[in-house]
Amino acid sequence: MLKVDAGGGDRLAVAVLAQYRMATTEQLHLLLTPGVRIEQTRRRLVKLRGEGLIDRVTLPQAGRTRAWFVTQYGAQVASEWPELRHWQPSRTVADRTAARLKVGHALTVTETGLAVVQDARRRGDVCQPLDWIPEDHHPLGSSEAVIPDALLYYRHGAEGDEDGSMLRAFVEVDRATMGPERLAAKIHAYARLHQYVPVPPPGARHRPAIQETARENWRRRYPLFPRLLFVLDGTGPAGVETRIQALGAAARDVALAGFLREVPVLAAPMTDLLQHGPAAPIWRPIHNPDHRVGWMHSSGRNQLRLAVPSASGK
């Protein structure tokens, strides 16, 4: 049985590790309990490891940094919690070799989420650790799916602020492990998701009620399609420019015109995100890469419509 402390810190630590896939000790400390000494976080992780809920790999090339992940038992326990109701365990859970091989990308995604959570705290906005959801599955039919590196829920404005707005974003973290054209092709996948309407079950397509309710699948989850953010890492300034140029070339495809009118698509270097904060005007609209905007106030026809008053959170 999981021995949960009175404050729920053990449970939150397991939940965050399950959802984020992997995190270092320092990342978990800053996500969960930045106001206490990091030794308390280390003791908590050692305890949870002793209970069989989490495990770790050590990265010899990074000062023997420890990267933590949930075990199969930890995933089983966490999957029963309501805060992880829609969470799907990683296929590499409890596999130390697989964890070691994917650690670079996983920790970069976690670092991006940590930057967003920390920035929200500084600004007085609301973005809890579990509002960053890596690898959230969005079906396209025929066993295909769009799986963003992360789905972000972000409330601009303090809790209870009637003028606040709920923002959502799909985040793709690129570490320059694929060519620029393959990166740009991801925009087409999101455009397909934007248009995808599930096929009615056999025998139902001729029923008027079914025809009237047919709609894009994403509308079942979101009042408006989340904006799309590309975070560019793993390369210098010249490489960043090459990748933004590739995204810009994709934006000139007439097949994407409708999607790009409705959905802001922005790109920013990871170095700028960490140095200035995600809310700073560091983001470059792919259709107008000479401009710099904030991701929450990106220009576009649907700017005002994307700031949706938050009535019930997610």
Query: Does residue 198 contact residue 215 with C-beta atoms inside 8 Å?
Result: no
Query: Does residue 174 contact residue 243 with C-beta atoms inside 8 Å?
Result: yes
The mean pLDDT of 293-303, rounded to a whole number, is 65
The mean pLDDT of 66-91, rounded to a whole number, is 88
pLDDT, tens only, 123-146: 999 999 999 999 999 999 888 999
Stretch among 31-45, 90-104, 240-254 having the lowest mean pLDDT: 90-104
Q: Is 178 left (phi over 0), alpha (psi -120 to 50) or beta?
A: beta
pLDDT, position 297: 76
Q: What residue type is 57 in one-letter code?
A: V
Q: Helix 9-20 vs helix 25-32: angle between axes, to the nearest 10 degrees?
A: 120
pLDDT, position 19: 95
Residue 203, both tokens: 């025998």
Among residues 153, 161, 158, the alpha carbon closest in space to that of 122 is found at: 158
pLDDT, position 143: 85
Give 6-21 as a 3 state SS string: CCCHHHHHHHHHHHHC
pLDDT, position 201: 64
Query: Does residue 109 contact residue 143 with C-beta atoms inside 8 Å?
Result: no
Question: Would the pLDDT of 57 be above 80?
Answer: yes
Reported pTM? 0.87
Question: Would the pLDDT of 205 be above 80?
Answer: no
Q: What residue type is 26 in one-letter code?
A: E
The mean pLDDT of 86-96, rounded to a whole number, is 69
**What burial letters (b/e) apply to 15-36, b meaning 16+ CB within 10 Å?**
bbbbbbbbbbbebbbbbbbeee
The confidence band for 301, taking pLDDT boundaries of 50, 70 and 90, is: very low
Residue 113, both tokens: 């989420």
Question: Would the pLDDT of 244 be above 90?
Answer: yes
Q: How far is CA 245 from CA 47, 80, 257, in A?
A: 48, 44, 17
Q: Rounded to whole angstroms, how far apart are CA atoms 171 and 268?
A: 11
pLDDT, averaged across the chain: 86
Question: Would the pLDDT of 73 be above 90?
Answer: yes
Query: Does residue 107 contact residue 24 with C-beta atoms inside 8 Å?
Result: yes
pLDDT, tens only, 19-52: 999 999 999 999 999 999 999 999 999 999 999 9
- Indicate the length of the chain as a whole number: 314
The mean pLDDT of 289-313, rounded to a whole number, is 57
Contacts of 106 (CB under 8 A, 6+ apart): 20, 21, 22, 67, 134
pLDDT, position 77: 93
Q: Which of 119-133, 160-174, 292-306 has the highest mean pLDDT?
A: 119-133
pLDDT, position 42: 95
First-to-last C-alpha distance (Å) of the chain: 30
The mean pLDDT of 284-308, rounded to a whole number, is 69
User: DSSP state, 110?
Assistant: H
The confidence band for 208, taking pLDDT boundaries of 50, 70 and 90, is: low
Q: Rounded to whole angstroms, how far apart are CA atoms 174 and 270?
A: 9
Residue 74, both tokens: 């930890």
Chain centroid to CA 285: how far?
19
pLDDT, position 7: 47
Question: Would the pLDDT of 233 be above 90?
Answer: yes
pLDDT, position 101: 73
The mean pLDDT of 184-209, rounded to a whole number, is 80
Give the residue with greater pLDDT, 61 vs 244. 244
Q: Rounded to whole angstroms, how far apart are CA atoms 39 and 17?
A: 18
pLDDT, position 225: 96
